[in-house]
Amino acid sequence: MELNSQIKAALADPEKKILLMTHIVLGYPSLAINRQVIEQMVSGGVDLIEMQIPFSEPMADGPVIVKANQDAIDNGVTVRQCLDFAKEISATYPIPFLFMTYYNILFKFGVEKFFQEAREIGIKGFIIPDLPPEEGEEFFALTRQYGIDPVMIFAPTSTPERMQELSRFGRGFIYCVARKGVTGKQTDFDEEFNSYMQRCRANTDLPLAVGFGISRKDDVDSLIGRADIAVIGTRTIKLVEEQGVDAVGPFIAGLR
C-alpha cells in the first residue's frame, strides 16, 4: 500500500485524532539501542517512523540531532549498515518507515542504487531537506519509477506560490516546519502559527505533518484539527539519554 493510502487509512480510525511520527538517528547511540527504541515506539502506538541516515552536515537539525549524527559517524555506522538495519526493521513492524537524510548520502552511494535498495527494503518515503525540486530532476523521476514518495517541506517563510510548486512535486504528505530555525526548540502555537497552517492547508491536498518543537502532549493536542501528523524528534533522543530506552514507550502512549 502506498504511503498516502496508509496515512488515510490510519486517519480513518476514530480513536486517532492525529497520527504520530517519530524520528531516530541510525547508529545513535547504537543500532542495538535503535532496535529497542523502535520496539518501544511501536508498542507505544506510533504510526510512522523516519529513520535518519547520519550525515556530517545536517543543516536542518538542531544541536541534539547534530550531535547524534556526529556521534553515530564517529561510532563508525555506515550507509550499508543503515540499509541492512532498515531491512530488518521494516520486515518486523507493519507501520510505514521513511528515510530522512541529505542528498550527498544518496549521491555518494549511487542515487538509483539507493532507490533500488530502499524499494526492496519496503521504505515508503524519502525526506531530503537539502534537495529543492529545481535541482532534483533525476531524484523525482526515480521516486515515480520506484514508487517511493518524496516528502516536501513547507516553512513559515514559504509563499503560497512556493507551497503549490512544492506540493506539485510531493507525495505521501507535506512536512510543515513549525517555525523558523532548526529542530529542538519549543514552538509557540499562536495565531501566527494558526495562520501559517491555514496557508499550508489551502495550498496542498496532501496530509500535513508538523515537526520542530513537538515534545509534549499539549503540543500534540494543539495540532489536532490543524494538522494530520505530529512529528516528535529531539524529545525521544533526549529521553533515551536521560531516562533510558524503557521510558520511550510510555512517553509515546502518553501523547494521545
Read off the C-alpha cell for 234: 529531539
**CA dist., res. 165 & res. 159, Å (int):** 10
61 an active-site residue? Answer: yes
Q: DSSP characters for 30-45?
A: -HHHHHHHHHHHHHHT
CB 70 within 8 A of CB 28: no
Based on C-alpha coordinates, what's the Rg of the chain?
17
The sign of the dihedral angle between the CA atoms of 182, 183, 188, 190 is positive
What are the angstrom distances between the C-alpha of 221 and each of 39, 68, 69, 124, 224? 24, 28, 29, 26, 5
CB 210 within 8 A of CB 244: no
What are the angstrom distances between the C-alpha of 178 and each of 35, 41, 50, 100? 28, 22, 17, 17
Catalytic hit among 13, 47, 50, 138: 50
Read off the C-alpha cell for 147: 514508487
**CA dist., res. 146 & res. 142, Å (int):** 6
Residue 99 β-bridge partners: 51, 126
Catalytic hit among 39, 57, 61, 218: 61
CB 126 within 8 A of CB 118: yes
Catalytic amino acids? 50, 61
